[in-house]
Amino acid sequence: MSKLVIGILALQGAFNAHINKINSLGIKNIDIILVKNKVDLRNINSIILPGGESTSIFSLLKKHNLLYELTSKLSLPNFPILATCAGLILLSKFKILRIAIKRNGYGGQMQSMVKKIYLNISTYDGHFMQGYFIRAPIIKKIFDENIKVLAHSNGFPVLLKKNNIIASTFHPELACSDAIHRMFINLLPKD
């Protein structure tokens, strides 16, 4: 079986927790590359867009001339993507996910919270996990009928799936549960 290469965008934000979560799954045929330049981006067959500060990440993408290459990669059919918090904001900004969002929808850093989230995923029916909402966006509207809502909180969608994309407004990498990262791994190409 050939190695699967997960890229984690590592210009700014909470990328180390994603490394730890993927490594904790104990899957042998996976390599992780921290994506910081065009060469890194070319060598991956899936990506995690972590949380952080979306405006800073966007500015750094422009500064490092990664904007075009990243959006081209994200637009590839069947290219697996896991986006959390600021990563979801980027997918909205790049029009990869057709959604309307409100940045810092629950408030600033002082309003950060942990909430119990019920996952509406067939493999995890009845499964609850902690949702860490840190300056999290709110999804106000979904414009694409192919986007499935896999979890809600306070009446708002907080976990989405569209084909090869999983996106959350919260930080699943901080939770004890590995359900969302396992779901992402299941999107990776199989030999």
Q: Which of 53, 85, 145, 181 is catalytic?
A: 85
Number of neighbours of residue 141 by Cβ within 10 angstroms = 9
CA nearest 173: which of 50, 17, 47, 25? Answer: 17
What kind and span of H or E run contains 119? strand 113-119
Is 85 among the catalytic positions? yes
CA nearest 18: which of 144, 136, 184, 190? Answer: 184
Q: In whole angstroms, how far apart are CA 75 and each of 70, 81, 167?
A: 9, 10, 15
Q: Which of 53, 64, 173, 176 is catalytic?
A: 173
Nearby residues of 68 by Cβ (< 8 Å), 6 or more positions away: none
Is 145 among the catalytic positions? no
Q: Name residue, tokens 């499935």.
A: 148
What kind and span of H or E run contains 130? strand 127-133
Cα torsion angle, 28, 30, 33, 34, sign: negative
Which residues are known to be catalytic?
A: 85, 171, 173
